Amino acid sequence: MTSLSGKGARRRPLWDIPTRVFHWTLVCLLPLAWWSADQQRFEVHQWVGYTLLVLVLSRVLWGIVGSRHSRFADFLVGPAAITRYVQGGGARSPGHNPLGGWSVTLLLTLLLAQAVSGLFNSDDILFSGPLYYWATSDIQDAMGVVHEVVFNTLLALVSLHVIAVCYYQLHRREKLIQAMIKGSAQGKEGLAPAVSTWRLVPILLLVSCGLWLLFAQAPGPVYLGF
Ligand code: HEM
Ligand code: HEM
């Protein structure tokens, strides 16, 4: 593969700006979500949770209309391609490798489940998520369990993710981290120009306004008036 430098690498990044901003914001917000829940700071926790929900939903849409290597179509491959890769056949794209593509999709799914279950959650004292009173008590209980179990699974998967990245970075000497910071790195260049970052604006508006409308429809607690 030829190596692009300077302007060429900027025009054809492996990871476009939205994907990189998404990734590093996630890295900052996940520990903040954990800390704020641990400290019972739900006025902080809910906003961190909403931001994560908007980010993940936007990343899913960006996986359809974003730049080439950010698209699911670029990195979700079938069993035959996975087997070929595992047997040393190499990856067809410079982006996520066949195993990485599925693990990234699993991470996104778990993050989505975590944020959505939070909406139906309550600390049973002062704070309830915006959709809590929409659910039956069985669903409320189930969402409480999902919120706890999925978070533990996320912690395990994120640890595996960081170990895998370190393995490729240090052992196989692939410049993964540089590419996720700068967009491209030696041996990690994109194959197509990035789409305009402005495409993200309608996505963010759609997702944020859609959630706001949904929350506005949801019922609040019923006061019995004693
Ligand atoms: C809270 C912790 C983290 C989460 C939830 C997370 C999640 C993700 C996700 C979802 C992607 C896919 C990016 C996309 O296509 O949108 C990704 C890729 C990546 N992450 Fe992380 N990440 C975390 C921590 C880290 C850390 C600490 C590092 C650096 C050591 C790192 C390095 C990378 C790299 C290099 C990629 C690109 C991998 C590739 O080339 O296939 N991540 N991560
Ligand atoms: C990806 C986003 C989120 C992450 C990573 C996250 C993480 C956590 C963690 C680690 C806990 C403590 C474990 C537990 O007791 O269940 C927790 C509890 C909680 N979270 Fe979230 N959360 C997220 C989104 C949300 C959202 C959007 C809301 C609601 C607006 C929310 C509401 C709550 C509530 C009410 C609790 C307390 C549950 C209890 O006391 O049993 N979370 N969250």
What pLDDT shows up at residue 16? 97
Residue 187 contacts residue 1 (beta carbons within 8 Å): yes
Question: What's the pTM?
Answer: 0.94
pLDDT in tens, 89-122: 877 889 999 999 999 999 999 999 999 999 999 9
Question: Is the separation of the CB atoms in 206 and 84 below 8 Å?
Answer: no
- Which residues lie below 8 Å from residue 12, measured CB to CB, with a gap of 6+? 4, 184, 189, 190, 191, 192, 193, 194
Q: Which residues line ligand 2 (CB under 6 A)?
A: 30, 33-34, 37, 42, 45-46, 49-50, 52-53, 111, 114-115, 118-119, 121-123, 127, 129, 144, 147-148, 151
Which pLDDT score, from 0 to 100, does residue 89 have?
85
From 45, 55, 59, mutation site for ligand 2 pocket: most ligand atoms within 8 A of C-beta: 45
Torsion of CA 38, 40, 41, 42, to 10 degrees: 110
In a domain, 50, yes or no: yes
Please indicate, yes or no, if residue 77 is contained in any of the structural domains. Answer: yes
Cα–Cα distance measured from residue 128 to residue 75, given in angstroms and rounded to the nearest whole number: 38
What would the pLDDT profile of 116-167 be if each residue is shown by its tens digit? 999 999 998 889 999 999 999 999 999 999 999 999 999 999 999 999 999 9
Cβ of 20 closer than 6 Å to ligand 1, yes or no, is: no
Please state, rounded to an integer, the average pLDDT across all residues of the chain: 93
Q: How many CA atoms lie within 13 A of 184 on its CB side?
A: 23
Q: How many CB atoms lie within 10 A of CB 208?
A: 16
Helix axes 137-166, 17-38, angle to 10 degrees: 120
The more confidently predicted of residues 91 and 43 is 43
How far is ligand 2, taken at its centre, from the CA of residue 147, in Å? 6
Give me the number of domains the chain comprises: 1
Q: Does a structural domain hold residue 225?
A: no
CATH code (residue 31) = 1.20.950
- Residue 223 inside a domain? The answer is no
Which ligand 1 atom is at minimum distance from the Cα of 154?
A: 5
Q: Which domain holds residue 170?
A: 7-215
223 dihedral zone (left: phi>0; alpha: psi -120 to 50; beta) = beta
pLDDT, tens only, 46-59: 999 999 999 999 99
